[in-house]
Amino acid sequence: MEETGSLKIPEEKPKIPSDGILPVEVARITLGHTKKRLDAYKNRLELIHAEKMLLNQQITHIESAQSAANAFVESLESMMPFLFEINLRVNDGTLASEEIPDLFNPQRMEIQKQKFKSQQNKLKKEAATTQQRLGKIAPRIEETRKEIFKAEAQHSSAREIYFQELHRQDLEQEYLRQTLERLQEKILELQKERVWLTENFNLSLNKFRSSQENVVRVQKELEELSKPKKTRYHEKHVEKDHHSIKKNHHASEKDHHTTAEKDHHKTIVTKEKISQQHGTRTKKLRRLRLELQSLIENGESLKGDAVILSEHLFKMQVIVEIHENSVVEGESVPDLISEGNQSDTIIAAGNSVSEYISEALLAVQKARDQLVLVDEQIAEYEAARKEEADSLASLKEIQESALHAKQWESTLKEMSIQQLVQSFKKSSEKLRENSITLQKFRDKFKKTQMGVEEAKQKLGYLKDPLLRLIQHEFLEEKQNILKKLFKLAGLNLPEELTRASFRSESSTAADKVNKNPLIKYSNNNTLTSQTVQYQNLLSTRIRIIEEQQKQRTKLLNVIKSLNQHVEQYVVMLSETLELAMKHHANAKEIKKRMGRGQLSSNEIPDGITEALSHDLIIQPETEITELLNYQTNVKRQIEELHQPDVALRETLPLLKEMRSLVSKRLDILRELQKQDQDFQQKREDLPETALKSLEQTALRHMESEDKIIEYFLSFVPSEQTKELSDLLRAYYVELAELGMKRENLKEQKGNTEHLIQLAEEEESISQKLLLILNKQAVQLIHEEEEEWIKIREQFGPHKAEPGHHSSRAKTGHHAHSQVPVLEKNKAALIKELAPLLFFRHMKIMAVNKWTRFFEQKLSPSGIEVEIDTYHEGLGALNAKASSIQRRIQYIAGHSPDELTKLEPDEKPETAIDMLQFLQGEIGVLRPERYKIRRQEIILILIKLVSIVLIAIFLVWLVKRVITRFMTSDIEKKPQTKFVLSFLKTFLKISIWIIAIVMLMSNLGFKVGAFLAGLGIGGLAIALAAKETLANILGGIMIFIERPFTIGDTIQIGSMQAGKVVDMTWRTTRLINPFDYHFSVPNSQVAESTILNYTKALPGGDYISVYVAPDNDPQKVIQLINQALSECTLIKQDMAKGTMLAGMQVFENASMMQYWPWWYADDYHKRYMIRDEVWNRIWKHLHEADIELKIRPFELAKRDNVTSQK
C-alpha cells in the first residue's frame, strides 16, 4: 500500500525548455515523457494487483488466526468438566491442592479465555477493515486501466509526432533546395488536395460519431431491459402439493388439481417469459456487437484519414514556414500565402486532427475490449436460453400428459362397468411392468453416476505440483469455505467439522509439507541442481496438463452417456406418470360408480385403495423434477467441458518450449562441468592413451616442421642435439596440450554463449507466460467472485444484489440470476459446492504461485543472475584463453601483423629477439640444433670414411698374406689348406663385423642393444637353421679331430666308400670308384662311423669264387693263384693266395667256395682290381674247363631287388 501511494505519476505534459529548442527535441522529450507516464501507470496497476493479492492473503491468515483462536477457546471450555472434577476431589481430600498444575488454575484459565476473546474481536475488526480495503481495490483497478488506455493513446500520438518531426527535417532539406516559385506551386497543389482530404476526414468523423451514438443508444436499451431470472423446474408446487396432501388427507381433490394446474401453467408462462427475455437480450447484444464492429471500422477509417490529412498539413506547414522565413529575410513578399494557409492556422488544424486520432485510438481500443465481453455475454445468454428451452419443453410434455389424463377422464365416463374394470386391471399391470423397468433405469443411473464420480475423482488426482503443495499448505481454507457456506445458508456447522479435528488435520498436513517440500535444495545449491529441479517441475506440470486433457475427454464421454441415460429415464418416467394419472382416474371413476350403486363391493378390483393415493402420481412427478434439474446441471458440465481452456492452450506450448530450453541448458551445464574437469586435469593425471595421443600429436607437429635435411640429420648422434631435441619435444608436447586446452576453452565459450542465448529465450518465454498467468489469475478471481455471487443469490437473493453491481463493474457484463434453493436441499448443495469452491480457490493460489515463481525468475535475483553468472564465466574463459594464447606465442611466436602493430620502442632490436618474437622458443632452438647437427655430421663422416678405409685395407692385407702363403712353394698339407681357408674367411668376417659395429656406434646406434638384438636374432636364426649350424659345427669338429684329410679314401657309415676331394663349412665332398661325386653333410659325417682306408694301405681284399665240388680243389687253387700272379694292379711284392672256404650246400646244388686274396695300395681302384682278378680267374678256369657257379640265393635276391626297382 505504501509503495502504491509513494509511486508518483508524471504530469500529463512534460516540462520543455523554451530557449531555442528544436521541435524534434520537443517531440523526443514528449515521447520519453509519455513512455514514463505509461510505465508508471502500468507499475501502479501491478502494485494494485499485488496489494490485492496481499490483502487476500491477509484475510486468509486472519481467518486462520480466528479459527485457531476459536479452537483454543473451545479447548478451554472442553477442560471445564476436568476442572470441576478436580475441585470435587480437592474438596473431598482425595487430591492435594499442591499436586494440581498451574495450568488448571481457574483464574488463569478465565484470563486466557478473556484474552482469546479479545483477540477474536480484534481479528474480527481487522478482517472487516481488510475487507473494506479490498472492496476499494476494484474501482482503483478500473480507474488505472482507463488511465493506461489514455496513456497508451498519448504515447502513440507522441510517437507519431516524433516520427513526423524526423520526417520534417527531411522535407525541409528537400524544400530548401527548391525555388520560391516552385514552393508557391507546391502550396497551391497541397491546398487543393487539402479540400477533398478534409471532406473525407469530416465524412469519416461523422460516421465515427454516429457509431458512437448508436453504441451508447444500444447500451441504454440493454440497461433498460429487465434482468432475466432463473426458475427451478416446478419443485415449488410439487412440494406444496405433497405437503398439503400429507397435512390434509380429506381436502378436496378438485381444489388440489386446480392449484397444481395453475402452478404448472404459471411456471410455463414464467419460463416462456424468461426465454423471451433471453432472446431479446441476445438480439440486443448481437446488435451491440454489430455497432461495436462498425465503431471499430469507422474508427480505423477515421484514423487512416486523419493520418493522411495530418501528413498533408505537415507538408503545408513546412512549406509555409520556409516561405515565412524568406519573407522575414526579405527574399519574398507576404501576399503569396492566403490567410487560411498561415502556419498558425495549419498548426491548429494539425493539433485538432491529432486529438481526433487519439480519441479514435482510445475509442477503438475500448470497443475491442467491449466486443470481447459482448461475445462472452452472447454465449452465456444463448446457453441460458437453450437451458430454459429444454426445461420448457419438458414442462410442456408434462402438461400434455396432464391434458391426456383429463381427456381420459371424459373417456372413462362413457365406458361400461366391465370396460372400466378391465381398463383398471390393464393399467395396474402396465404400472407393475413400468415399475420393474424404472428400477432397472434407477440402477443403471446410479451406476453411471458412480462412473462419473470415478472419472471426476481421477481428474481430481491430477493436480498441479504447486497446487498439491498449496492444498496441504492451505487446507484450513477448506474449513473457512465450509463455514462461509453454512453461514450464507443460515445453517449450523455440523459437529463432525470441529476445530480440534481440523487443527490436528492442518497440523498434520503442515508437518507433511514441512517434511516433504516440493523442491529440495541441497547444501551445494549449484546452477545445475537448480536447473534439474526446474526441469522436473516443468515436466511434472506438462505431464499433468496432458493427463488432465485426456481425463477431461474421458469425463466428457461419461457425462454424455449419463445425459443420454437421463433423457431415456425421463421419457420412461413421463410415460409412467401419464399411466399413473390414467390409473388414478380409473380408480376414481370406479369409486364414483360404486358410490352410485352401479358397482358392488365384490366387483371392485384389487389395488383400488393404492390407486386412489396421490403418492402414485407425486413420486414420478417429483422424480422427473429432480432429474430435469439434474440434467440441467449435467448439460452445464458438458458445456463447460466442451469449452476449450484458452489459457491452457496458450500455456502448454510455452511450457513445452520452456522445458526444451531448460533441458538443453541442463545438458550444456553438464557438458561444461565435464569440459572444466578436463581443462583442470594435469598432464600426469591424463590416461595413458590420452597421454600417448598427446605425445604423438606433438611428434607429428614437430616432424611436419622439419625440413628434409633436418630429417636426415636427425640420425646424427650427439648428446647436445639430443638435449635440444628433448627440449623441443617438451615444447611441442606443451604446445599440443595448450592447443587441446584452447579447443576446450573454445567449446566452453561456445556452450556458454549458447547458455546465454537459451537463458534469454527462456526469459522471453517467462515474460509471455507471466502475462498469460496474470490474465488467467484475474479471470479466475472474477469467476470465483461470480460463483460466490450466484451462491449468495441461491441462499438469499437480497444478499447478492450488491455483488451483481460489483461484478458488473469489474467484468463489464451481467451475472445470471440464480434460483433460490429449497431449505431441504441446502446441505446437499453445500456438500456439492464446497470441493468445487475449494478447488477453484486452490487453482487461484496455484496460478499466484506460478506467477510469483516466474516473477522471481524475471526479477534481478532470478534468471538475470544466471545470465550474469554465465557472462562472468565467459569473461573467465576469455582470461584463460588469453593466458594460453600468450604462452603459445611465447613457444611458437607471434604473427607478422602483431609485429607491425607494436610501437617503435616495443619492437625487438636484435636478430635473436626478432626471431624469438616471430617464431618463439621453438624458432630459436631449431637453428641452434641444426648448426650443431651440421658440425656433428662432418665429424661423423670423417670417422665413417676412416673406419671403412681401414677395414678395406685390413681385409686386403689378410687376403693378400694368406693367398701368397697358399701359392708359395712351401709344401702344405691338406689340413693346412683347410685351416688357411677357414682363417681367411674368419678374419674377413671379423674385420667387417668390427667395422660395422664401429660405424653403428659412430652413427649413434646403441651397440650393446644391437648386439643383444643380434644374440636374440641369432638364437631365432639358429632355431630356424639348426641343420646348417649343425653342419658348420660338424665341420669344426672334423677340423679339430682330423679323422681324414683331403685325398683319403673313406667310408662313412653304411655309405659307399669314396675319396675325399673337398671339404667346406657345410659338407664333405667325395668321389666313388665310378667317378661319381656326392656330398655328405658335416653333421652326418661327424655323427657316423668313419672307415679310413687310406691310413691302412696297403690294404687287403678278396672275392668269393664258386665251382662244382667235383673239381680238384688243388687244381682250382693253383689256377686262381696263377691268375693272381698275372694281375698288374695288385701289389705283387706282397703276399697273395687262395683259401678253400668250404662247401656251400643249397637246396638243389652244392658248391665249393674259394677266397682269392691280395694287397693293393690304392683303395679307390678296388673295383678295377677286382675286375682284373675276375677276368684272369675266369680265363684260367675256362681254359681248364672248370665252370664258375653262382649262388642261387644271390640270383633270387638280385631278382627281388630288380622287381622292387
What cell numbers appear for 809 in the block?
Answer: 463493474
Total number of residues shown for the chain: 1205
- Residue 476 pLDDT level (bands cut at 50, 70, 90): low
- Is the distance from CB of 38 to CB of 144 less than 8 angstroms? no
pLDDT (tens digit per residue) in 490-527: 777 776 554 434 444 434 333 333 334 344 433 334 56
Provide the H-helix boundaries in 646-718.
646-680, 688-704, 708-713
Tell me, what's the pLDDT at 239? 40
DSSP string, 903-929: -GGGS--SHHHHHHHHHHHHHHHHHHH
> Nearest-CA neighbor of 819 among 388, 490, 485, 399?
388
Type and span of the H or E element at 687? none
Higher pLDDT, 1010 or 1126: 1126
Mean pLDDT of the region 51-57: 78
Type and span of the H or E element at 359? helix 343-413
Calculate what percentage of the chain has a pLDDT beyond 90.
1
Cis status of the peptide bond prior to 1098, with omega within 30 of 0 = yes
Tell me, what's the pLDDT at 1164? 72
Cross-strand partners of 1159: 1100
3-state helix, strand, coil in the chain (%, to 5): 80, 5, 15
181 half-sphere exposure, CB direction, 13 A CA radius: 0
The SS3 call for residue 414 is coil
Task: Examine the pLDDT at 1018 and tell me if it is beyond 80.
Answer: no
Task: Examine the pLDDT at 256 and tell me if it is beyond 50.
Answer: no
Task: Quote the CA–CA distance of 874 and 866 in Å, as a whole number.
Answer: 12
Tell me, what's the pLDDT at 518? 40
1190 half-sphere exposure, CB direction, 13 A CA radius: 8
What cell numbers appear for 739 in the block?
Answer: 592447443
526 φψ region: left (φ > 0), alpha (ψ -120 to 50), beta (else) = beta
Query: Amino acid letter at 1049?
Result: T
Distances (CA, A) of 317 to 157, 171, 191, 344, 675: 18, 11, 11, 9, 66
What is the rounded average pLDDT for all residues in the chain?
76
Type and span of the H or E element at 1071? strand 1067-1071
- Is the distance from CB of 31 to CB of 162 less than 8 angstroms? yes
pLDDT (tens digit per residue) in 434-449: 888 888 888 888 888 8
Spell out the residues 6+ positions from residue 875 whose beta carbon is closer than 8 angstroms to its own: none
Tell me, what's the pLDDT at 1205? 33
Calculate what percentage of the chain has a pLDDT beyond 70.
80
Strands 1150-1160 and 1090-1092 turn out to be unpaired
Mean pLDDT of the region 458-485: 70
Mean pLDDT of the region 646-653: 79
Phi, psi for residue 1092 in degrees, rounded to 5 = -100, 105
pLDDT (tens digit per residue) in 105-116: 777 777 777 887
Tell me, what's the pLDDT at 809? 46
Tell me, what's the pLDDT at 985? 77
The 8-class DSSP code of residue 1099 comes to E
The SS3 call for residue 1188 is strand
> Nearest-CA neighbor of 1077 among 1093, 1056, 1054, 1108?
1056
Show the 3-state SS of 71-83: HHHHHHHHCHHHH
pLDDT (tens digit per residue) in 797-845: 554 455 544 444 444 445 555 566 667 777 777 777 777 787 777 778 7
Query: Which string of b and e fits 200-216 if b means at least 16 CB within 10 Å?
Result: bbeebbebbeebbebbe
- Is the distance from CB of 323 to CB of 336 less than 8 angstroms? yes
What cell numbers appear for 166 in the block?
Answer: 524526423
893 φψ region: left (φ > 0), alpha (ψ -120 to 50), beta (else) = left
Mean pLDDT is lowest, of 411-415, 747-751, 922-926, for: 411-415
pLDDT (tens digit per residue) in 363-399: 888 888 888 888 877 877 777 777 777 777 766 666 6
- Is the distance from CB of 184 to CB of 336 less than 8 angstroms? yes
Task: Quote the CA–CA distance of 941 and 12 in Å, as a whole number.
Answer: 100
Task: Quote the CA–CA distance of 832 and 923 in Å, as a whole number.
Answer: 90
> Nearest-CA neighbor of 1077 among 1067, 1091, 1065, 1089?
1067
pLDDT (tens digit per residue) in 770-806: 888 888 888 888 888 888 887 887 776 554 455 544 4
Higher pLDDT, 832 or 888: 888
Task: Quote the CA–CA distance of 154 and 354 in Å, as a whole number.
Answer: 10
Type and span of the H or E element at 1160? strand 1150-1160
Mean pLDDT of the region 1076-1084: 84
Mean pLDDT of the region 47-68: 76
Task: Quote the CA–CA distance of 734 and 742 in Å, as a whole number.
Answer: 12
- Residue 746 pLDDT level (bands cut at 50, 70, 90): very high
- Is the distance from CB of 313 to CB of 198 less than 8 angstroms? no
Task: Examine the pLDDT at 890 and tell me if it is beyond 80.
Answer: yes
Tell me, what's the pLDDT at 949? 92
Task: Examine the pLDDT at 129 and tell me if it is beyond 70.
Answer: yes
What cell numbers appear for 251 in the block?
Answer: 381436502
pLDDT (tens digit per residue) in 939-971: 888 888 999 999 899 988 888 888 877 776 555
What cell numbers appear for 893 in the block?
Answer: 611466436
Task: Examine the pLDDT at 1191 and tell me if it is beyond 50.
Answer: yes
Task: Examine the pLDDT at 404 and tell me if it is beyond 80.
Answer: no
The SS3 call for residue 281 is helix
Select the highest-mean-pLDDT range: 657-661, 822-826, 1100-1104: 657-661
Tell me which residue has cell 457425462: 559
1066 burial (CB, 10 Å; 0-12 / 13-18 / 19+) is middle
- Is the distance from CB of 148 to CB of 42 less than 8 angstroms? yes
- Is the distance from CB of 738 to CB of 745 less than 8 angstroms? no
pLDDT (tens digit per residue) in 197-216: 888 888 888 888 888 888 88
The SS3 call for residue 647 is helix
Tell me, what's the pLDDT at 1201? 38
Tell me which residue has cell 494494485: 48
Tell me, what's the pLDDT at 72? 73
The SS3 call for residue 773 is helix
Tell me, what's the pLDDT at 473? 54
Task: Examine the pLDDT at 1081 and tell me if it is beyond 50.
Answer: yes
- Residue 635 pLDDT level (bands cut at 50, 70, 90): confident
pLDDT (tens digit per residue) in 138-168: 788 878 877 887 788 788 778 877 777 777 6
Spell out the residues 6+ positions from residue 1097 whose beta carbon is closer than 8 angstroms to its own: 1161, 1162, 1163
> Nearest-CA neighbor of 756 among 669, 867, 846, 876?
867
Cross-strand partners of 1092: 1050
Higher pLDDT, 643 or 900: 900
Task: Examine the pLDDT at 745 and tell me if it is beyond 70.
Answer: yes
Tell me, what's the pLDDT at 950? 92
- Is the distance from CB of 372 to CB of 292 less than 8 angstroms? no
Task: Examine the pLDDT at 736 and tell me if it is beyond 80.
Answer: yes
Tell me, what's the pLDDT at 1156? 92
The 8-class DSSP code of residue 333 comes to -
Task: Report the largest interatomic distance among the alpha carbons of the chain, rounded to a whole angstrom.
Answer: 196
